[in-house]
Structure 1
Amino acid sequence: MDDGNYVRIAGLERLYPSLIRVPEPMSSFPFTAFTSDPDLKVAAWSDLRNRQVSTVAGWKLVEANLKHVARLKLVRDEEALFTLLGKGRTEVVVAGLYTGQEIIRKNGYKDMRALLPPLADPPMYIYLHKRHADLVPRLAQALRQMRHDGTLERLTKAGLSGAKP
């Protein structure tokens, strides 16, 4: 990593000691199951146990919750997930809700749907390399202020405007 990393779950600093987490969450990330099966219902990670599931490699929270599924395929990005689902090469993909909805819309996948509510919606954080430790308090304060005055919500809505169903 160079200087920082955006939108990651809490706890990565234990795996990567050179990282420092900015303690104020930047956003949340609704990890959601998607399928083409009109009859499939998923309310919890355990509902995926006997399924063929695909997700993005490196998503630690998702990988930990999917370690007991029948067949797990890890891919490089969310576009690849939906390509697999579109070709019938997986039953379920776990992806970000808004990105997944945007990929479905953009590619015209008519039979795919999100299985709501999301499986998890953890807060996501910014991580900085430890050489930038002096920036952490100021960045945390700026994020708190942006949340308080509505700036974060406005920016999030603007960024997701094309991804809503």
Structure 2
Amino acid sequence: MGLDIELVTRPAKRSLIEVNSGASDAEMARVTGAEMEYPNLVRVKEPIFALSFSAIVAAKSKHWLSSWEEISKHRIGYPRGYRLLDIRTKSMKALTAKDPVTIAKMVKAGRIDVGIVVTSDANRFVSKIGGIVILKPVIEVVTLYHYLNVKHRRLIPEMEIILINLNDSGRTKELILGTN
């Protein structure tokens, strides 16, 4: 496309507000539906990737079923910044922590019964922290998309073609996983 970009990391809500207002140009990876709450966001229809969330429990736990209904009966924790998890756990006994490592440590220490984290983080914690297990199957998989401020909507057709090519070639996955 020949555009120079700068990736800026901001808290999730602030980032959405800035793109919606036009102060920033785009959002890198959001679930579908962001445009319902932020009307100046336009979704690029070709997805970037899918993100899965897993439930983790202490190795000595008796909780072995991974579904929203099953975990709703227990003390839950998840990292801040995941709007989807805020919505899913709204009526549950849930708390948030600053990062997924804190959630894993809280599970291991028995401060919460179930932690909800990105599956790739969960896999890392099993070997790195120990004393926790990942419940199967994953609790949820979401597809993530690019969003642009409406003033850049004319870029979308070309972005979609580029993303289709990146996805079809497997290059998107390589870039995201850092396997170049």
TM > 0.5 fold call? yes
Aligned-residue identity in percent? 21
**TM superposition shift of 1:104:** 4.2
Query: Which sections of structure 2, spanning at least 5 residues, go unmatched?
Result: 1-14, 16-23
Give the drift of 1:40: 1.4
Q: How many residues align?
A: 156
1:55-96 CA distance string (max 9 Å, x none):
123422222222232x11022332332232233221111111
CA contact (8 A) 1:55 1:74 kept: yes
Matches within 5 A, 1:16-165: 16-36=38-58, 37-69=60-92, 71-105=93-127, 108-156=128-176, 158-159=177-178
Unaligned runs of 5+ in 1: 161-165
Inter-CA distance 132–79: structure 2 relative to 1 (3 Å threshold): farther
* Corresponding position of 1:163: none
Q: Determine if contact 1:33/1:42 at 8 Å carries over to the other structure.
A: no
Q: Give yes or no for the alignment of 1:14 onto 2:36.
A: yes
The structure with the larger Rg is 2
Cα root mean square deviation, aligned: 2.0
Length-normalised TM-score, structure 2? 0.76
In 1, Cα distance between equivalents of 2:178 and 2:65: 28
The answer to whether the 8 A contact 1:24-1:144 is kept is: yes
The normalised TM-score by structure 1 is 0.83
